[in-house]
Every structure is written in structure tokens, then in C-alpha cells.
């Protein structure tokens, strides 16, 4: 049972790090970039920054829409991590019922390490999205369509927060189940559990940053 869980988990693990949309949408990704993302830092950068205050990038709406879709992908990533985190509780119950829980615990430990890596990847993805949103906010002008896209982005960030809350609840349950076990669990295994929980908690910082950036974009695009 433990081996089957491990193979199924590792087969799905690459999905945790997904940031882009499906291939049909990703083909036009290069067309959905701000000029700050296409140009190198050079002597004209300051002049471009001044121009951005009076003329928004024509690709700004598409970029914000793309970021909203990428934010929705992070919600899916967190929900997938949560599903595997919840499964570890049943795995632990099965392992502790065996006379020799060592092999099953080794599989669970690998799963916990992979879950921690997935949470860290989501955190990095959200910081990347924050950078894109802040670049867009640097040239945002009052525009009803941009306000609508900004509200869509904020709603996606709120969904990320809800998914993170659910993941945190299940991560705490896994950590509590391991902490309550007084035999058969070595310190390295406990560390993997603590590391997973800590990685989930650290995602909160990136959620705050992308929400603040999204709200700033919304405020700048809202007509007075």
C-alpha cells in the first residue's frame, strides 16, 4: 500500500509546480508581456518609466488577465497539495498499525518532503506574479476594463487564501498525528513533518504580497 501511494504521488508531483496555462494559451504568452519584461536595463529605462506614467502599455489588460489565470493555477496547486496532505493521515494510521512501520514511514517521509517542495514552489510562483503585477501597477491609468481585470485578480487571490487555509488545517493535523506518536518515529521523520508545516505557513507571505500588489493595481485603475 505504501509503495503504491508513493508511485501515484510522484507521478502527480510535477503538476504542483505548474504556473503556465495549457499549451493553447501558452503559445501566445510572449505576446502578453509588458515592455518592462521585454527590454534590458539600459540608459532609456528612466525615460520609459516616465512615459509609462502618461501612456499605459497596450498589453497591460492581457497581462493582468494572464496573471489572473496563473493565480487560479496556484489555487489548483494548493488544492492538489492539500489532497495529498490529507491522505498522509490515513497513511500514518496504516503505518502505525504494522509491526514494522519503517518501510511505510519512509514512503510517507518522501511524500512530506515533496509536499514541502510543492508549497515552496507555489510561494515562489506567487512572488513572481507579484513582480508582474507591480510592474503593471507602475503604469496603470484609470480604465474601467482594467478595474474589472484587477477585481478578477483579487478574487483569484482570495481563492488562493481559502485553499491555503484548508491546506494549513490538514498540515496541522498531519503534524499533530506524528507528534502524538511516541514510538517508531525518528527525529528525521519529525523534522520532515515540521518542515512541511513550516513551508505551508511561509506561503502566507507571498499571498499577502500579491494581494497588496493587486489592490494597488485596482486602486490606480479605478476612476475617481
Query: Phi and psi dihedrals of 100, rounded to 5?
Result: -120, 95
In this prediction, residue 36 carries a pLDDT of: 59
> Contact 214/154 with Cβ under 8 angstroms?
yes
Q: Which domains does the chain have, with CATH numbers?
A: 2-9+25-221 (1.20.1050)
In this prediction, residue 197 carries a pLDDT of: 95
In this prediction, residue 101 carries a pLDDT of: 86
In this prediction, residue 97 carries a pLDDT of: 87
In this prediction, residue 75 carries a pLDDT of: 97
Low-confidence ranges of the chain (pLDDT < 70): 1-56, 184, 224
Greatest alpha-carbon span in the chain: 71
In this prediction, residue 189 carries a pLDDT of: 87
In this prediction, residue 14 carries a pLDDT of: 40
Contacts of 160 (CB under 8 A, 6+ apart): 71, 74, 75, 78, 126, 207, 210
In this prediction, residue 98 carries a pLDDT of: 85
Residue in the block written with cell 511561509: 202
Amino acid at each position: 500500500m505504501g509503495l503504491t501511494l508513493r508511485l501515484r504521488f510522484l507521478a502527480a508531483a510535477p503538476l504542483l509546480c505548474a504556473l503556465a496555462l495549457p499549451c493553447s494559451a501558452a503559445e501566445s504568452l510572449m505576446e502578453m508581456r509588458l515592455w518592462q519584461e521585454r527590454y534590458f536595463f539600459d540608459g532609456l529605462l528612466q525615460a520609459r518609466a516616465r512615459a509609462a506614467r502618461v501612456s499605459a502599455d497596450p498589453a497591460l489588460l492581457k497581462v493582468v488577465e494572464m496573471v489572473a489565470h496563473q493565480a487560479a493555477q496556484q489555487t489548483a496547486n494548493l488544492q492538489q497539495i492539500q489532497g495529498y496532505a490529507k491522505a498522509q493521515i490515513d497513511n500514518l494510521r496504516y503505518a502505525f498499525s504494522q509491526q514494522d512501520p519503517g518501510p511505510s514511514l519512509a514512503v510517507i517521509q518522501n511524500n512530506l518532503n515533496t509536499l514541502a517542495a510543492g508549497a515552496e514552489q507555489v510561494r515562489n510562483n506567487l512572488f513572481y506574479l507579484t513582480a508582474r503585477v507591480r510592474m503593471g501597477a507602475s503604469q496603470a491609468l484609470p480604465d474601467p476594463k482594467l478595474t474589472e481585470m484587477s477585481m478578477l485578480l483579487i478574487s483569484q487571490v482570495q481563492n488562493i487564501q481559502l485553499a491555503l487555509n484548508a491546506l494549513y488545517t490538514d498540515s496541522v493535523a498531519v503534524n499533530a498525528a506524528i507528534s502524538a506518536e511516541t514510538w517508531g518515529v525518528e527525529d528525521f521523520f519529525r523534522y520532515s513533518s515540521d518542515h512541511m508545516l513550516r513551508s505551508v505557513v511561509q506561503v502566507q507571505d507571498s499571498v499577502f504580497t500579491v494581494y497588496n500588489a493587486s489592490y494597488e493595481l485596482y486602486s490606480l485603475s479605478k476612476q475617481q
